[in-house]
Copies of this chain bind each other. A is one copy, B any other.
Amino acid sequence: MVDYIGVDDVARLIRSIGPGEFIERLAGEILADYRRWDEFEKSARVASHSAVGVIELMPTTDGKLYSFKYVNGHPQNTAAGLLTVTAFGVLADVATGYPLLLSELTVTTALRTAATSALAARLLARPAPRTMALIGNGAQSEFQAIAFHRMLGIRELRLYDVDRAATAKLERNLAAIEALADLSCVRAASAADACRGADIVTTVTADKRNAVILTPPMLRPGMHVNAVGGDCPGKTELHPDVLRSPHARVVVEYAPQSRVEGEIQQMPPDYPVIELAAIAAGRTPGRAAESDLTIFDSVGFALEDYSALRFLHSLLEEGHIERRRIDLVPQLGDPKDLFGGTLGAGAVRRRLRKSA
Protein backbone atom coordinates (compact mmCIF):
# COMPACT_ATOMS: atom_id res chain seq x y z
CA MET A 1 0.00 0.00 0.00
CA VAL A 2 1.16 3.50 -0.87
CA ASP A 3 0.57 6.61 1.25
CA TYR A 4 -1.58 9.23 -0.44
CA ILE A 5 -1.67 12.98 0.18
CA GLY A 6 -4.33 14.84 -1.80
CA VAL A 7 -5.04 18.52 -2.32
CA ASP A 8 -7.45 18.57 0.63
CA ASP A 9 -4.82 17.02 2.90
CA VAL A 10 -2.19 19.61 1.97
CA ALA A 11 -4.68 22.47 2.28
CA ARG A 12 -5.76 21.27 5.74
CA LEU A 13 -2.13 20.89 6.83
CA ILE A 14 -1.06 24.33 5.62
CA ARG A 15 -4.05 26.07 7.15
CA SER A 16 -3.35 24.35 10.45
CA ILE A 17 0.37 25.15 10.77
CA GLY A 18 0.26 28.33 8.70
CA PRO A 19 1.79 28.85 5.24
CA GLY A 20 4.66 30.99 6.60
CA GLU A 21 5.80 28.35 9.04
CA PHE A 22 5.39 25.57 6.46
CA ILE A 23 7.47 27.50 3.92
CA GLU A 24 10.19 28.27 6.45
CA ARG A 25 10.45 24.66 7.61
CA LEU A 26 10.44 23.43 4.00
CA ALA A 27 13.19 25.95 3.16
CA GLY A 28 15.24 24.36 5.95
CA GLU A 29 14.77 20.94 4.35
CA ILE A 30 15.68 22.28 0.90
CA LEU A 31 18.80 23.94 2.31
CA ALA A 32 19.84 20.71 4.03
CA ASP A 33 19.44 18.84 0.74
CA TYR A 34 21.31 21.48 -1.31
CA ARG A 35 24.16 21.15 1.22
CA ARG A 36 24.55 17.48 0.20
CA TRP A 37 24.21 18.29 -3.52
CA ASP A 38 26.89 15.78 -4.55
CA GLU A 39 24.82 12.89 -3.19
CA PHE A 40 22.07 13.52 -5.75
CA GLU A 41 21.72 12.03 -9.23
CA LYS A 42 20.95 15.09 -11.34
CA SER A 43 19.46 15.37 -14.79
CA ALA A 44 17.54 17.95 -16.77
CA ARG A 45 13.82 17.33 -16.79
CA VAL A 46 12.24 15.09 -19.45
CA ALA A 47 9.92 17.38 -21.37
CA SER A 48 7.22 16.68 -23.95
CA HIS A 49 6.24 19.85 -25.79
CA SER A 50 3.03 20.41 -27.74
CA ALA A 51 1.66 23.48 -29.51
CA VAL A 52 -0.21 24.57 -26.35
CA GLY A 53 2.05 23.52 -23.51
CA VAL A 54 4.51 21.13 -21.97
CA ILE A 55 4.38 18.03 -19.78
CA GLU A 56 7.51 17.24 -17.80
CA LEU A 57 8.91 14.53 -15.56
CA MET A 58 11.55 15.58 -13.03
CA PRO A 59 13.32 12.64 -11.36
CA THR A 60 16.15 12.64 -8.84
CA THR A 61 17.60 10.39 -6.14
CA ASP A 62 20.13 10.51 -3.33
CA GLY A 63 20.63 6.75 -3.43
CA LYS A 64 18.22 6.19 -0.52
CA LEU A 65 15.05 7.87 -1.72
CA TYR A 66 13.96 8.43 -5.31
CA SER A 67 11.45 11.05 -6.33
CA PHE A 68 9.88 12.37 -9.46
CA LYS A 69 7.43 15.12 -10.22
CA TYR A 70 4.92 15.29 -13.07
CA VAL A 71 4.22 18.89 -13.99
CA ASN A 72 2.51 20.59 -16.91
CA GLY A 73 2.55 24.18 -18.14
CA HIS A 74 -0.38 25.33 -20.30
CA PRO A 75 -0.74 29.14 -20.37
CA GLN A 76 -4.05 29.00 -22.25
CA ASN A 77 -5.71 26.76 -19.64
CA THR A 78 -7.10 29.64 -17.57
CA ALA A 79 -9.41 30.65 -20.42
CA ALA A 80 -11.07 27.22 -19.99
CA GLY A 81 -11.27 27.58 -16.20
CA LEU A 82 -8.27 25.32 -15.64
CA LEU A 83 -4.95 25.86 -13.91
CA THR A 84 -1.87 26.76 -15.97
CA VAL A 85 0.24 24.40 -13.89
CA THR A 86 -0.73 21.19 -12.13
CA ALA A 87 1.68 18.77 -10.53
CA PHE A 88 1.96 15.61 -8.50
CA GLY A 89 4.86 13.50 -7.37
CA VAL A 90 6.03 10.21 -5.96
CA LEU A 91 8.60 9.32 -3.33
CA ALA A 92 10.06 5.81 -3.59
CA ASP A 93 12.47 3.56 -1.72
CA VAL A 94 15.64 2.96 -3.75
CA ALA A 95 16.43 -0.29 -1.89
CA THR A 96 13.19 -1.99 -2.99
CA GLY A 97 11.95 0.24 -5.82
CA TYR A 98 8.55 0.41 -4.10
CA PRO A 99 6.67 3.72 -4.21
CA LEU A 100 6.12 5.04 -0.68
CA LEU A 101 4.06 8.18 -1.24
CA LEU A 102 1.93 9.71 -3.96
CA SER A 103 1.21 13.37 -3.31
CA GLU A 104 -0.42 16.36 -4.90
CA LEU A 105 2.26 18.90 -5.81
CA THR A 106 0.29 21.76 -7.38
CA VAL A 107 -0.06 23.68 -4.12
CA THR A 108 3.18 22.20 -2.82
CA THR A 109 5.17 23.36 -5.87
CA ALA A 110 4.06 26.93 -5.22
CA LEU A 111 5.18 26.54 -1.60
CA ARG A 112 8.54 24.96 -2.49
CA THR A 113 9.22 27.56 -5.19
CA ALA A 114 8.60 30.35 -2.70
CA ALA A 115 10.70 28.54 -0.08
CA THR A 116 13.58 28.21 -2.56
CA SER A 117 13.27 31.87 -3.59
CA ALA A 118 13.41 33.05 0.03
CA LEU A 119 16.24 30.65 0.80
CA ALA A 120 18.30 32.00 -2.11
CA ALA A 121 17.46 35.59 -1.15
CA ARG A 122 18.70 34.96 2.41
CA LEU A 123 22.02 33.90 0.90
CA LEU A 124 22.18 36.67 -1.72
CA ALA A 125 20.30 39.83 -0.68
CA ARG A 126 21.85 42.56 1.44
CA PRO A 127 20.97 42.36 5.14
CA ALA A 128 17.61 43.59 6.43
CA PRO A 129 15.70 44.17 3.19
CA ARG A 130 12.37 45.87 3.77
CA THR A 131 10.73 46.50 0.39
CA MET A 132 10.08 44.03 -2.41
CA ALA A 133 8.72 44.61 -5.90
CA LEU A 134 6.36 41.78 -6.80
CA ILE A 135 5.83 41.79 -10.55
CA GLY A 136 3.31 39.24 -11.80
CA ASN A 137 0.45 38.85 -9.33
CA GLY A 138 -0.84 35.47 -10.50
CA ALA A 139 -0.95 32.02 -8.94
CA GLN A 140 2.55 32.14 -7.40
CA SER A 141 2.46 35.65 -5.97
CA GLU A 142 0.81 35.05 -2.56
CA PHE A 143 3.31 32.32 -1.82
CA GLN A 144 6.25 34.60 -2.65
CA ALA A 145 4.78 37.40 -0.51
CA ILE A 146 4.33 35.09 2.49
CA ALA A 147 7.81 33.58 2.11
CA PHE A 148 9.60 36.93 1.90
CA HIS A 149 7.56 38.45 4.73
CA ARG A 150 8.39 35.51 6.98
CA MET A 151 11.95 34.67 5.99
CA LEU A 152 13.43 38.00 4.87
CA GLY A 153 11.43 40.48 6.94
CA ILE A 154 9.87 42.22 3.93
CA ARG A 155 7.26 44.69 5.21
CA GLU A 156 6.37 46.57 2.03
CA LEU A 157 5.31 45.08 -1.31
CA ARG A 158 5.17 47.09 -4.51
CA LEU A 159 2.74 45.21 -6.73
CA TYR A 160 2.44 45.23 -10.50
CA ASP A 161 0.65 43.09 -13.04
CA VAL A 162 -0.57 43.90 -16.54
CA ASP A 163 -3.88 42.45 -15.32
CA ARG A 164 -5.31 44.73 -12.60
CA ALA A 165 -7.67 42.00 -11.48
CA ALA A 166 -4.69 39.83 -10.58
CA THR A 167 -3.31 42.55 -8.30
CA ALA A 168 -6.71 43.04 -6.67
CA LYS A 169 -6.94 39.28 -6.07
CA LEU A 170 -3.46 39.24 -4.51
CA GLU A 171 -4.27 42.19 -2.22
CA ARG A 172 -7.53 40.56 -1.15
CA ASN A 173 -5.83 37.27 -0.35
CA LEU A 174 -2.98 38.90 1.56
CA ALA A 175 -5.38 41.13 3.53
CA ALA A 176 -7.17 38.01 4.79
CA ILE A 177 -3.98 36.56 6.35
CA GLU A 178 -3.61 37.62 10.00
CA ALA A 179 0.13 36.95 10.10
CA LEU A 180 0.61 39.61 7.39
CA ALA A 181 -1.05 42.41 9.39
CA ASP A 182 2.25 44.37 9.38
CA LEU A 183 2.72 44.04 5.60
CA SER A 184 1.75 47.03 3.49
CA CYS A 185 0.96 46.76 -0.20
CA VAL A 186 1.41 49.55 -2.73
CA ARG A 187 0.02 49.36 -6.26
CA ALA A 188 2.69 50.40 -8.73
CA ALA A 189 1.87 51.96 -12.09
CA SER A 190 4.41 49.88 -14.01
CA ALA A 191 7.15 47.34 -13.52
CA ALA A 192 9.64 50.21 -13.39
CA ASP A 193 7.57 51.96 -10.73
CA ALA A 194 7.38 48.72 -8.73
CA CYS A 195 11.18 48.50 -8.67
CA ARG A 196 11.58 52.02 -7.30
CA GLY A 197 13.12 51.82 -3.83
CA ALA A 198 12.88 48.02 -3.71
CA ASP A 199 15.59 45.99 -2.00
CA ILE A 200 14.42 42.84 -3.75
CA VAL A 201 12.66 42.48 -7.11
CA THR A 202 10.62 39.32 -7.64
CA THR A 203 9.28 38.49 -11.10
CA VAL A 204 6.67 35.74 -11.36
CA THR A 205 4.97 36.42 -14.68
CA ALA A 206 3.36 33.63 -16.68
CA ASP A 207 3.78 34.55 -20.37
CA LYS A 208 5.26 31.67 -22.37
CA ARG A 209 7.57 33.82 -24.50
CA ASN A 210 10.71 35.92 -24.33
CA ALA A 211 9.21 38.85 -22.44
CA VAL A 212 11.11 41.86 -21.20
CA ILE A 213 9.87 42.51 -17.68
CA LEU A 214 13.06 44.01 -16.28
CA THR A 215 15.52 46.31 -18.08
CA PRO A 216 18.77 47.77 -16.73
CA PRO A 217 17.36 51.23 -15.86
CA MET A 218 14.92 49.64 -13.39
CA LEU A 219 17.68 48.03 -11.32
CA ARG A 220 20.38 49.41 -9.02
CA PRO A 221 23.61 47.83 -7.82
CA GLY A 222 22.98 46.13 -4.48
CA MET A 223 19.52 44.92 -5.37
CA HIS A 224 18.59 41.26 -5.40
CA VAL A 225 16.52 39.97 -8.31
CA ASN A 226 14.43 36.84 -7.77
CA ALA A 227 13.55 35.84 -11.34
CA VAL A 228 11.04 33.01 -11.06
CA GLY A 229 8.78 33.27 -14.11
CA GLY A 230 11.25 32.45 -16.88
CA ASP A 231 11.49 28.70 -16.59
CA CYS A 232 11.42 26.99 -19.96
CA PRO A 233 12.95 27.34 -23.42
CA GLY A 234 11.66 30.55 -25.03
CA LYS A 235 10.31 31.92 -21.73
CA THR A 236 12.36 34.66 -20.09
CA GLU A 237 11.72 37.86 -18.11
CA LEU A 238 15.02 39.78 -18.08
CA HIS A 239 16.43 41.94 -20.83
CA PRO A 240 19.76 40.34 -21.75
CA ASP A 241 21.53 43.58 -20.82
CA VAL A 242 20.53 42.95 -17.19
CA LEU A 243 22.60 39.78 -17.34
CA ARG A 244 25.43 41.66 -19.08
CA SER A 245 25.63 44.25 -16.29
CA PRO A 246 29.12 44.38 -14.73
CA HIS A 247 27.40 44.10 -11.33
CA ALA A 248 25.41 40.99 -12.21
CA ARG A 249 26.12 37.92 -10.07
CA VAL A 250 23.91 35.13 -11.35
CA VAL A 251 23.01 32.12 -9.25
CA VAL A 252 21.21 29.08 -10.69
CA GLU A 253 19.99 25.76 -9.34
CA TYR A 254 21.53 23.29 -11.80
CA ALA A 255 23.58 24.91 -14.54
CA PRO A 256 22.98 22.36 -17.37
CA GLN A 257 19.21 22.74 -16.93
CA SER A 258 19.23 26.52 -16.42
CA ARG A 259 21.28 27.14 -19.55
CA VAL A 260 18.35 25.65 -21.50
CA GLU A 261 15.42 26.89 -19.44
CA GLY A 262 16.49 29.93 -17.42
CA GLU A 263 17.17 33.59 -18.11
CA ILE A 264 20.71 32.57 -19.07
CA GLN A 265 19.39 30.75 -22.16
CA GLN A 266 19.88 34.23 -23.68
CA MET A 267 23.62 34.15 -22.91
CA PRO A 268 26.54 32.25 -24.46
CA PRO A 269 27.19 28.76 -23.05
CA ASP A 270 30.22 29.96 -21.08
CA TYR A 271 28.35 32.79 -19.34
CA PRO A 272 29.54 32.59 -15.72
CA VAL A 273 27.02 31.34 -13.15
CA ILE A 274 27.25 30.06 -9.60
CA GLU A 275 25.25 27.03 -8.48
CA LEU A 276 23.10 27.55 -5.38
CA ALA A 277 24.57 24.40 -3.85
CA ALA A 278 28.05 25.93 -3.75
CA ILE A 279 26.69 28.86 -1.76
CA ALA A 280 24.51 26.65 0.46
CA ALA A 281 27.55 24.58 1.36
CA GLY A 282 29.64 27.69 2.07
CA ARG A 283 32.14 26.94 -0.70
CA THR A 284 31.33 30.24 -2.45
CA PRO A 285 30.07 33.47 -0.88
CA GLY A 286 26.52 34.46 -1.81
CA ARG A 287 26.99 38.19 -2.26
CA ALA A 288 30.61 39.14 -2.87
CA ALA A 289 30.23 42.94 -2.81
CA GLU A 290 27.73 45.48 -1.54
CA SER A 291 27.28 46.65 -5.13
CA ASP A 292 26.55 43.22 -6.61
CA LEU A 293 23.30 42.92 -8.52
CA THR A 294 22.53 39.40 -7.36
CA ILE A 295 20.14 37.48 -9.61
CA PHE A 296 18.57 34.17 -8.66
CA ASP A 297 17.66 32.72 -12.06
CA SER A 298 15.21 30.15 -10.72
CA VAL A 299 13.66 27.46 -12.93
CA GLY A 300 12.83 24.88 -10.24
CA PHE A 301 14.92 21.79 -9.78
CA ALA A 302 13.96 18.20 -8.97
CA LEU A 303 15.84 18.32 -5.66
CA GLU A 304 13.32 20.87 -4.34
CA ASP A 305 10.45 18.49 -5.09
CA TYR A 306 12.39 15.67 -3.49
CA SER A 307 12.75 17.83 -0.35
CA ALA A 308 9.04 18.70 -0.40
CA LEU A 309 7.96 15.06 -0.80
CA ARG A 310 10.33 13.93 1.94
CA PHE A 311 9.05 16.72 4.23
CA LEU A 312 5.39 15.91 3.53
CA HIS A 313 6.03 12.23 4.16
CA SER A 314 7.73 12.96 7.48
CA LEU A 315 4.75 15.14 8.52
CA LEU A 316 2.44 12.27 7.59
CA GLU A 317 4.52 9.80 9.58
CA GLU A 318 4.47 12.17 12.58
CA GLY A 319 0.67 12.24 12.42
CA HIS A 320 0.24 15.82 11.11
CA ILE A 321 -1.58 14.47 8.05
CA GLU A 322 -4.26 11.81 8.28
CA ARG A 323 -2.87 8.55 6.89
CA ARG A 324 -4.65 7.41 3.73
CA ARG A 325 -3.44 4.53 1.60
CA ILE A 326 -4.15 3.41 -1.94
CA ASP A 327 -3.67 -0.04 -3.49
CA LEU A 328 -1.30 1.18 -6.19
CA VAL A 329 0.96 -1.89 -5.83
CA PRO A 330 -0.05 -5.47 -4.99
CA GLN A 331 0.50 -7.01 -1.58
CA LEU A 332 1.16 -10.71 -2.04
CA GLY A 333 1.62 -13.58 0.36
CA ASP A 334 4.07 -15.12 -2.10
CA PRO A 335 5.92 -12.47 -4.12
CA LYS A 336 6.86 -15.07 -6.73
CA ASP A 337 3.18 -15.72 -7.47
CA LEU A 338 1.86 -12.51 -9.02
CA PHE A 339 -0.85 -14.32 -10.97
CA GLY A 340 -2.09 -16.50 -8.16
CA GLY A 341 -2.02 -13.67 -5.63
CA THR A 342 -4.03 -11.22 -7.72
CA LEU A 343 -6.05 -13.08 -10.35
CA GLY A 344 -5.84 -16.75 -9.44
CA ALA A 345 -7.91 -19.07 -7.32
CA GLY A 346 -5.88 -18.13 -4.22
CA ALA A 347 -6.80 -14.48 -4.60
CA VAL A 348 -10.47 -15.36 -4.94
CA ARG A 349 -10.36 -17.51 -1.79
CA ARG A 350 -8.58 -14.74 0.10
CA ARG A 351 -11.21 -12.27 -1.08
CA LEU A 352 -14.02 -14.56 0.03
CA ARG A 353 -12.46 -14.89 3.47
CA LYS A 354 -12.12 -11.12 3.64
CA SER A 355 -15.78 -10.49 2.86
CA ALA A 356 -17.00 -13.37 5.06
A residues with a Cβ closer than 8 A to B are: 4, 6-8, 10-11, 14-15, 19, 41, 43, 46, 48, 50, 52-55, 57, 59, 61, 63, 66, 68, 70, 72-74, 77-78, 80-86, 88, 90, 92, 94-99, 102, 104, 106-107, 110, 138-143, 165-166, 169, 172-173, 176-177, 326-330, 332, 334-340, 342-345, 347-348
Please report the C-alpha to C-alpha distance between residue A143 and residue B340 in the assembled complex, in whole angstroms.
11
A-B contact pairs, 29 of them (CB 8 A): A4-B326, A7-B329, A7-B342, A15-B348, A19-B343, A41-B48, A46-B57, A48-B66, A54-B97, A55-B61, A55-B94, A57-B57, A57-B59, A68-B70, A70-B92, A72-B97, A74-B95, A77-B97, A83-B332, A104-B328, A106-B329, A107-B338, A107-B343, A110-B339, A138-B336, A139-B338, A173-B337, A173-B340, A177-B344
A99 contacts across to B, CB distance below 8 A: 70, 86, 88
A110 contacts across to B, CB distance below 8 A: 338-339
Please report the C-alpha to C-alpha distance between residue A160 and residue B4 in the assembled complex, in whole angstroms.
41
A335 contacts across to B, CB distance below 8 A: 77-78, 81-84
Closest Cβ of chain B to A81, distance in Å, is 6
Q: Are A342 and B11 in contact (CB under 8 A)?
A: yes
Number of copies: 2
Closest Cβ of chain B to A4, distance in Å, is 7
A327 contacts across to B, CB distance below 8 A: 6-8, 104
Q: Are A173 and B344 in contact (CB under 8 A)?
A: yes
Closest Cβ of chain B to A173, distance in Å, is 5
Across chains A and B, which 8 residue pairs bring their CB atoms closest together, nearest first?
A: A72-B97, A142-B339, A6-B327, A139-B338, A176-B345, A86-B329, A74-B97, A7-B327
Please report the C-alpha to C-alpha distance between residue A46 and residue B44 in the assembled complex, in whole angstroms.
11
Please report the C-alpha to C-alpha distance between residue A26 and residue B4 in the assembled complex, in whole angstroms.
29
Q: Are A139 and B337 in contact (CB under 8 A)?
A: yes
Please report the C-alpha to C-alpha distance between residue A74 and residue B94 in the assembled complex, in whole angstroms.
9
Q: Are B336 and A97 in contact (CB under 8 A)?
A: no
Contacts A4-B326, A173-B340 given; does A90 touch B78 at CB 8 Å: no
A15 contacts across to B, CB distance below 8 A: 343, 347-348
Closest Cβ of chain B to A176, distance in Å, is 4
A77 contacts across to B, CB distance below 8 A: 96-97, 335
Q: Are B70 and A46 in contact (CB under 8 A)?
A: no
Please report the C-alpha to C-alpha distance between residue A143 and residue B304 in the assembled complex, in whole angstroms.
40
A70 contacts across to B, CB distance below 8 A: 68, 90, 92, 99
Closest Cβ of chain B to A156, distance in Å, is 20
Given contacts A6-B326, A80-B96, A83-B332, 11 further A-B contacts (CB under 8 A): A4-B326, A7-B328, A15-B347, A50-B95, A55-B97, A83-B329, A83-B338, A102-B328, A106-B338, A107-B330, A176-B345
